[in-house]
Structure 1
Amino acid sequence: MKKTGWTLIIAMLALAAYLILWPVPVEPISWQAPAAPGYTGPHAANDRLSGIRLIDLGDETGPEHVALARDGKLYAAMASGNIVRMNPDGTAQEVFVNTGGRVLGFDFDAADNLIAADAMKGLLSIGPDRAVRVLINTVNGDPVRYANAVTAAANGKIYFTDASTRFAPKDWGGTFAASILDIMEQSPTGRVLEYDPSRKTTRIVARGLSFANGIALSQDEQTLFVNETGRYRVWKIAVTANDLDVTQGSPQAAVLLDNLPGYPDNLMRGLDGRLWLGFAKPRNPVIDAMSDKPLLRKVTLRLPRALWPVPKAYGHVIAFNEDGTVTADLQDPIGAYPETTAVTETPERLYIQSLHAKGLGWLAR
């Protein structure tokens, strides 16, 4: 019995030492998560997203970003690295291009080049001839580690987010794993960048964001809307800002939507001045409770991944005006369509984007 007792004690000490001392890649920052609002007010619980229909994508998964181009075709970025082109009803699917990485967002410029934020490659330009060019993958000698979302302005300038300067998806097991590490660490290293094709220059518009994600321009193209996933909010940032640290306060940056009920992912311009936002996951009370406990977050990352407090599936997308008024809220509490990242709105349909879905979701308008 004594031998068994000592064996148990040694095993428990070894486990405790592992949970406390084993190295992990994050250095968590203490912060105070606001009390979650729950599903109330403009986000009152509903099932308006539960009737979603699917376009079969064959072997493809993860239509993370979807856009309707001037050629009348839908383009969708897949987990395989393919950008698939199809008719709006899902027929005539073909691989337009494979970037060899993972495109998380794209837009079309005035010359119909597809401008892609590739999490593995940087900012890309893909011509109508399907030729792929790297526009930028460094800023002032610093790598663009996590190109995430992009929007092209009428004047030719391109704005995109670099979600994290700490965790590159190509080094940390992909985009989802890298995002978890960055959000668990909470070091606000995300930034907004501007690329000027006419001068071939890149500058930092703003920094200090906890996982900079979706981005969209205002109708007058003087303001950028930017999702800060790790802090559950949406910013308004002036396009004229230069190397602005949003954590320091400035009249050029303000929070438009705060303390949201989930992790905001992509942003898309819709019809009639609307912007659409998708929540990849809902808030998790365990994660919020650990916000001011950095050591506990380190311990959590030493657990098997199956025990990490990854939030449950919950479908949720919203539309809002540029003044922050929420005009639509669609939810699926069951989460049958996983990780609803945003909405592409056309006169006939709402296409629902997703990180990992095996089809492209849509609703009739």
Structure 2
Amino acid sequence: MIKKLLLGLLALLLCATAYLLLWPVPIQAQVWVAPPAPGYVGPHAPNTRLAGLQMISLGAEEGPEHVAMGPDGWLYTAVGSGKLLRMKPDGSELAVWAQTGGRVLGFDFDAQGRMIAADAMRGLLAISPSGEVSLLTDHVGDSPILYADAVVVAQSGEMFFTDASTRFGAKALGSTFEASVLDILEQSSTGRVLAYNPATRQTRLMAQGLSFANGIALSSDQSQLFVAETGRYRVWRISTAATGLDVRQASPQAQVLLDNLPGYPDNLMRGLNGKIWMGLVKPRNPKIDNMAGKPWLRELTLRLPRSTWPVPKAYGHVVAFSEQGQILADLQDPSGAYPEATAVTETPERLYVHSLHAPALGWRPNDLK
């Protein structure tokens, strides 16, 4: 009887081992070198300046992932349901303005007053002032755009946007969050920066080789793009003239502006007086950094229950920096009460704080100069 029990336990152990080592997972994890986390020091010293935000109700909606003032003076936001909401700057007269059938993660406005939207499920869209949706592009040549993430419109009319991953599509997985987790775990660096020319209706590859290409912003002279590389904790400065660039190879057209950040950079938004706002959506996690050189361990993690995954803790953090990379403002909420702050929209009166999952839109008076 004891012998049968031992044999049964051995068989169970072998099955469990085989599962943990061999069960198929969707990623092919790559080795990379994570720099030692700097912690919250220097310009990022701990503070509570993001705590106690005031809230604007979004009704039954949540996740104001991107927020911007429209040319009509209304405040627009994209929410988790896929809807685009419009409201007065004080949050009054809230209404559904448009629905793309996908999930808009970033948008800007062109000279015609159209919203140009990066829809993770559909590609790059144009939405008329009356809310009519049309597709601008969803391919670069024969390569599909799987995860349009952020967009900025230049004065020339050219539209620069990020395709976060060519490995994990938000539509195929049914979740922008799921796709982002897989891409960052894999570290195959397939994110890219694209440009759409509305005059020629052509899309060109500007730069590739980014580990989850995320937020994007233009320099004041329109000659440079600032691009958040979420999976490697850094922000790039890339020439708007770049074509077919691979950032993994040295080039004068691409330099790292901010490196080894204390969290995962997300959206980028131009603010007042030369500021560029960035959200650090989650803080660094030593367990995740320690797995950088252990691709097998990252694959094994996907075979474990999600409750055991080393998910970074909640921590509110937004940063403003200059075009030269100087930190101009740093606002934190160690309690993480307002979840996953992704950026800030700055007006002379208010700082509106974007969020992946918050049930309301947070804001605070603008006391920055």
> What's the counterpart of residue 308 of structure 2?
307
Alignment of 1:123-142 (within 5 A): 123-142=124-143
How far residue 153 of structure 1 moved from its aligned partner, in angstroms, is: 0.3
> What's the counterpart of residue 33 of structure 1?
34
Q: Secondary structure at the match of 1:170?
A: helix
> What's the counterpart of residue 45 of structure 2?
44
Identity of aligned residues (%): 62
What do the CA deviations read for 1:117-154 (whole angstroms, capped 9, x no partner)? 00000000000121100000011111000000000001
Whichever residue aligns with residue 286 of structure 1, its letter is: K
> What's the counterpart of residue 93 of structure 1?
94
Which runs of 4 or more aligned residues in structure 1 lie more than 6 Å from their structure 2 counterparts after TM superposition? none
What do the CA deviations read for 1:63-88 (whole angstroms, capped 9, x no partner)? 00000112110000001111000001
How far residue 224 of structure 1 moved from its aligned partner, in angstroms, is: 0.2
Tell me how far apart the structure 2 counterparts of residues 272 and 138 of structure 1 sit (CA, whole Å): 36
Q: Secondary structure at the match of 2:256?
A: strand
Q: Would you say 1:121 and 2:122 are equivalent positions?
A: yes
Tell me how far apart the structure 2 counterparts of residues 156 and 249 of structure 1 sit (CA, whole Å): 29
Whichever residue aligns with residue 233 of structure 1, its letter is: R
Tell me how far apart the structure 2 counterparts of residues 107 and 173 of structure 1 sit (CA, whole Å): 24
Q: Secondary structure at the match of 2:171?
A: coil
Alignment of 1:354-365 (within 5 A): 354-365=355-366
Tell me how far apart the structure 2 counterparts of residues 264 and 168 of structure 1 sit (CA, whole Å): 20
> What's the counterpart of residue 292 of structure 1?
293
Tell me how far apart the structure 2 counterparts of residues 84 and 11 of structure 1 sit (CA, whole Å): 53
Q: TM-score if structure 2 supplies the norm length?
A: 0.98
Whichever residue aligns with residue 16 of structure 2, its letter is: L
Tell me how far apart the structure 2 counterparts of residues 92 and 18 of structure 1 sit (CA, whole Å): 54
> What's the counterpart of residue 57 of structure 2?
56
How far residue 37 of structure 1 moved from its aligned partner, in angstroms, is: 0.2
Q: Secondary structure at the match of 1:154?
A: coil
Tell me how far apart the structure 2 counterparts of residues 41 and 29 of structure 1 sit (CA, whole Å): 32
How far residue 172 of structure 1 moved from its aligned partner, in angstroms, is: 1.8
Tell me how far apart the structure 2 counterparts of residues 199 and 120 of structure 1 sit (CA, whole Å): 24
Alignment of 1:157-172 (within 5 A): 157-172=158-173
Aligned residues: 365
How far residue 13 of structure 1 moved from its aligned partner, in angstroms, is: 1.0
> What's the counterpart of residue 113 of structure 2?
112
How far residue 4 of structure 1 moved from its aligned partner, in angstroms, is: 2.0
> What's the counterpart of residue 7 of structure 2?
6
How far residue 61 of structure 1 moved from its aligned partner, in angstroms, is: 0.6
Alignment of 1:110-259 (within 5 A): 110-259=111-260
How far residue 360 of structure 1 moved from its aligned partner, in angstroms, is: 0.2
What do the CA deviations read for 1:93-122 (whole angstroms, capped 9, x no partner)? 010001111000000000010000000000
Structure 2 unpaired stretches of 5+: none
> What's the counterpart of residue 273 of structure 1?
274
How far residue 255 of structure 1 moved from its aligned partner, in angstroms, is: 0.2
Tell me how far apart the structure 2 counterparts of residues 159 and 75 of structure 1 sit (CA, whole Å): 20
Tell me how far apart the structure 2 counterparts of residues 43 and 4 of structure 1 sit (CA, whole Å): 57
Q: Secondary structure at the match of 1:248?
A: coil
Structure 1 unpaired stretches of 5+: none
How far residue 306 of structure 1 moved from its aligned partner, in angstroms, is: 1.8
How far residue 254 of structure 1 moved from its aligned partner, in angstroms, is: 0.1
Give the alignment's Cα RMSD to 1 decimal.
0.7
What do the CA deviations read for 1:19-70 (whole angstroms, capped 9, x no partner)? 1000001001101100000000110011111121111111101000000112
Q: Secondary structure at the match of 2:90?
A: coil
Q: Secondary structure at the match of 2:51?
A: coil
How far residue 173 of structure 1 moved from its aligned partner, in angstroms, is: 3.5
